Amino acid sequence: METLSKQELRRRIREAGRSVGKARREAASASIVRQVEALDAFAAARTVLLYWPLPDEADVRPLAGRWLGRKRIVLPVVAGDELELREYTGPASLRPGAFGILEPAGTPFTDLDAIDLAVVPGVGFDAAGNRLGRGRGYYDRLLPRLRAYKVGVCLGHQLCEAVACEPHDVCMDRVISAGGQE
């Protein structure tokens, strides 16, 4: 089996994503949210790292809305070349940040050991838990600092046969795709 370069794999996934309509993307995202909520690790988690999605990512915002007040929700904020984490306290706490992504205002959340579960986006994932990011290394620098259970989430076309790994890449504990659990 030939493993594609990360750049070529990103290109193919972007191309495949162009044909995914809004209704299909919404249905797939809803399925992913249900699958995350069904995880024992999610049920047990007190602090959950989520993300505010880009248009081509699985939309996990319903998790923040449904679980705010019952779990501590933390979101990433782009701060230079790093991801800084901040607590999500509701929609009013969000401000446009880097890359047009809404990010919570407020003080940085620094108790990384308190994060029990991290829901992680990616351009692609494989069944072994390998993640293909966007190439800027934000999550590559954050994930090694987390002891949390790591769940990669992706739409069906983002689930790949194989993602090339490098020594700094952090493997997910679980990958959930639109079509099911891997």
State residue 165 phi and psi, 5-degree precision: -110, 145
Distance CA 75, CA 86 (A): 6
Query: How do the pLDDT tens digits run along the chain, 182 residues long?
Result: 467 888 899 999 998 998 888 889 999 999 999 999 999 999 999 999 999 999 899 999 999 999 999 999 999 999 999 999 999 999 999 999 988 899 999 899 999 999 999 999 999 999 999 999 998 889 999 999 999 999 999 999 999 999 988 888 899 999 999 854 33
- In the chain, the domains with their CATH numbers are 6-112+122-181 (3.40.50.10420)
| Cα gap 63→78, rounded to integer Å | 21
Residue 43 CA, chain-centre distance (Å), reads 18
Distance CA 175, CA 24 (A): 19
* pTM score, whole prediction: 0.93
User: Helix H segments across 111-161?
Assistant: 138-142
Per DSSP, helices labelled H in 72-181 are 138-142
- The rounded Cα 178 to chain-centroid distance in angstroms is 13
CA distance 147 to 180: 25
Amino acid identity, residue 67? W
Q: Are 146 and 112 in contact (CB under 8 A)?
A: yes
Spatial distance between the Cα atoms of 105 and 144, rounded to a whole number of angstroms:
24
- Separation CA 150–CA 142 (nearest Å): 12
